[in-house]
Amino acid sequence: QVQLVESGGGLVQPGGSLRLSCTASGDIFSIYNMGWYRQVPGNQRELVADINSNGITKYGDSVKGRFTISRGNDKNTVHLQMNMLTPDDTAVYYCNAVLDWVDRRYGFSLTKDEYWGQGTQVTVSS
């Protein structure tokens, strides 16, 4: 079983910074992509930032130049540094991972799946 555990959300004033972290745990063979999406009520979930196994990053247009995604030393952790936050950044942020996990029920096989974290609230308000 694979789990994504997020941390770092909270309340911050406009112009401030927050850092989100997400760690994937379980019987993971390899991770293709890890990233962050966000959602506000009534809207679709949107890409914030993504990083692949080669370190190639992708950002949503509204966060370019303000947010930075990076991988931790253990490669199963991803960080999102969010600077110059505005009220429009207020949302629930979800960690996402696309990975191969090891299925040992009938020997050894790999299954590719997508996982989501439980979400962490980020509120930008004065």
CA distance 10 to 126: 13
Please report the pLDDT score of residue 1 as a whole number.
83
Phi and psi at 5, nearest 5°, equal: -115, 125
Q: What pLDDT, in 10s, does the model give residues 30-47?
A: 999 999 999 999 999 999
State yes or no: pLDDT of 84 exceeds 90. yes
Tell me the three state secondary structure of residue 87: helix
Please report the pLDDT score of residue 97 as a whole number.
97
Distances in Å between the Cα of 6 and the Cα atoms of 13, 24, 48, 50, 116 are: 21, 9, 15, 15, 10
Distances in Å between the Cα of 91 and the Cα atoms of 69, 99, 125 are: 17, 25, 12
Tokens representing residue 1 in the block: 């079983």
Tokens representing residue 9 in the block: 């959300």
Q: For the chain, give the percent of residues with pLDDT over 90.
A: 90
Task: For residue 105, name the pLDDT band (cuts at 50, 70, 90).
Answer: confident
State yes or no: pLDDT of 10 exceeds 90. yes
